[in-house]
A and B are shown apart, each in its own frame.
Chain A
């Protein structure tokens, strides 16, 4: 459960400084960027996401490396399932 998922920041929301829309292999979900308040990401940045929260900013190259790691670890489907699960509370 300690593996982190790389995601690209697609959209930020004025007036909601803790929320960002990210994309992971085509899936778009909202995440919380509150843990990066000292150095907030901008649109186009890559971040490592764990349980719906951005943990750290990474380069695009590192993000692609990390995606590759998840794939060879056989964890990419679980990672995608996790990302798809974010925002469950929004619809219930």
Chain B
């Protein structure tokens, strides 16, 4: 509630909350999955769960690209950069993500030339400024980010830049949703669809979720009012026994997506037959590799890729949390062996991962209260002891 109070649209939020209470059938349970990590972050940050009736549960999906990247891919990328002539570039979110032999930042401390870039085009610029070095860009992200990587590769080809390559770890959202829906222990009633991924792919790719799987999906913005309004729209569909794709985020998402972005992706990338997702295993046709026509700029073909596979510890139950079978705090490792400072499982790695978001906003809140409670009890006990001592002294 605290965060929501700060929001200027308090009236809209109150109205949406009341509408949700009116529409939700108290006799049943609702499980809605928000696919995108940005939504997960917003839901915890704003404390939106506190506004929902207890029979509506929000399940946090696989839409955090850092979280779902298998650890072995980090090791693969870092092993390419072992050549001292290579400059390893990645976004800042990647820098602290541990590989089996340390994070990119730890490799930098050991002497590797590791640099943060904020845009893939800056990685290409770095290659142009350092013609005697090779610049390798470690690319991650869903369809929000993949078109930018594609355009940069098109520019590299057009300019004939030889000392630049991309290690593609781009993934696509639809096969991940399909994997969740196909899993036998799946219990999701409807989806809060991703916002910025949909600016690129539009709303059409979600149609099978409604028509074949009978699950409503609403493409949603990131403000508290957006997310609550989207829940209202989902409840309306469920009440009317409908399942369709709706767009709540029309101010940013065109129904057809961004044609130029899709064209750039199609020019540079093709689907991999399969790709491993951390916490979910191998999913067919779920990731993008660089086409033969861009082979020269494909780091996986320019360098030896060891194909490192690191299995997540068995005790980590990331897959169950991702599918909504378990809540973050129900995992055996949560908050003990696995914390944002020392992540064991995928979902604790990035602030957009559901376990990290839960830990930062819910778990810490409770532990602070517990700490305050303990401190207060200790103070009371101390006072009582002191009083007793005073009484003894007087006696």
Contact = CB atoms under 8 A, between A and B. Distances in A.
* A and B: bona fide binding partners: yes
Interface of A: 1-4, 31-32, 34-38, 48, 50-53, 55-56, 58-59, 62, 65, 68-69, 72-74, 82-83, 85-90, 92
Nearest to B259: A38
B3 A72 contact: yes
11 contacts: A1-B91, A34-B264, A35-B264, A36-B258, A48-B199, A51-B91, A52-B118, A56-B199, A72-B3, A72-B7, A85-B92
Contacts of B41: 73
A2 B194 contact: yes
Contacts of A53: 119, 121, 147-148, 151
Contact of A65 (B6, B119, B151, B223): B223
B121 A52 contact: yes
What 5 pairs across the A-B complex have the smallest Cβ distances? Answer: A52-B119, A89-B125, A85-B118, A89-B122, A89-B126
B144 A88 contact: no
A65 B226 CA distance: 12
Given A51-B145, A62-B251, A4 B196 contact: yes
Contact of B117 (A34, A35, A48, A88): A88
Nearest to B4: A72
Interface in B129-186: 129-130, 141-142, 144-145, 147-148, 151
Given A3-B222, A62-B252, A51 B258 contact: no
Interface string B104-119: 0000000000011111
Interface residues of B, number: 57
A31 B116 CA distance: 17
A37 B65 CA distance: 27
Given A2-B144, A35-B258, A51-B148, A89 B200 contact: no
Nearest to A49: B119
A1 B119 contact: no
B246 interface: no
Interface in B1-59: 3, 6-8, 36-38, 41-42, 45-46
Contacts of A31: 119
B119 A51 contact: yes
A86 B38 contact: no
Given A51-B118, A52-B119, 14 more contacts: A1-B66, A2-B37, A35-B258, A51-B120, A51-B141, A53-B151, A72-B3, A72-B7, A82-B92, A83-B118, A85-B122, A89-B117, A89-B123, A89-B129
B151 A34 contact: yes
A69 B195 CA distance: 13
B318 to A, nearest CB: 19
Nearest to B222: A69
Given A2-B63, A92-B129, A73 B42 contact: yes
Contacts of A55: 144, 196, 199-200, 258, 261
Given A51-B119, A89-B124, A89-B128, A56 B252 contact: yes
B93 interface: yes
B260 A37 contact: yes
A51 to B, nearest CB: 5
Contacts of A48: 196, 199, 252
Nearest to A1: B93
A1 B261 CA distance: 18
Contacts of B128: 89
B349 interface: no
